[in-house]
Amino acid sequence: MAYENIRLEKDGPLAILTVDRPKALNALNSATFHEMDDAIRSLKFDETRALIVTGGGDKAFVAGADIAEMVTITAAQAREFSALGHHVFQSLENLPIPTIAAVNGFALGGGLELALGCDLIYASEKAKLGLPEVTLGVIPGFGGTQRLTRLVGRARAKELLFTADRIDAARAKEMGLVLDVVPADKLMEHCRAVAAKILKNGPLAVAQAKRVVEYGADQDLRSANELERQGFAVLFGSEDQREGMAAFLAKRPAAFQGK
């Protein structure tokens, strides 16, 4: 399918989703959300094993939600717009493959919320991140208040939410919001290198590791450990487990099939 606001490219088992509205600093409007939803749903586990999400142009990852679209909407329409954003980011989070945010510029409001929906976040040295919604008289509407709190803690999340501060990439790394900061011209290379490491591993095992971390995070330790036990056991019914251990004993690279 041809898209107007995004690009979805495939490089073997790696997919790259680019929000591509550079004249609007890649701001998220309803049309862009619907295209992202379609692109995410199109990814097949037997073909795609990792996804990088980034922004088009050299200024922004995603500068936020599209204020021009939101300025005149009613409370009921705002509820629908929020539900759409939540649905898309939840679909991204629910993918059984690792997702990597390559934050190449402004990641503000909905842009930061998009990054927070990914498993791993890496930023260029020129990235600026923040949740400035209170300056507009609203709050984040796509999961930002909740995912940010779970990532950096309640007090730091409140600080960013209440002050609307834009922080640089170094500060974001310091507080645990991003994993690494790299030169702008090396960001995609870095993210591709991380993806390449992931792609060498058993895809069913990686998917199960993602699942138990995500679901276990909201449970007590005993319940979470039981989830891990079940995930560990079920993989012993896979061809990948047999191949992985046979390859280890034979001192050769494993040829995983995702089965």
Between CA 21 and CA 30 the distance in angstroms is 13
Residues 129 and 63: beta-carbon distance below 8 Å: no
CB-based burial of residue 2 (10 Å sphere; 0-12 exposed, 13-18 middle, 19+ buried)? exposed
Which residue in 35, 93, 125, 133 is the catalytic one?
133
Which residue in 4, 47, 69, 113 is the catalytic one?
113
Is residue 9 annotated as part of the catalytic site, yes or no?
no
Between CA 169 and CA 156 the distance in angstroms is 15
Q: Helical H runs in the chain?
A: 30-42, 67-70, 75-94, 110-116, 144-152, 154-163, 169-174, 187-199, 203-216, 221-234, 239-250
Is residue 133 annotated as part of the catalytic site, yes or no?
yes
Task: Work out whether the CA dihedral 146, 151, 153, 159 comes out positive or negative.
Answer: negative
Q: Would you please indicate which residues are annotated as catalytic (active-site) residues? A: 113, 133
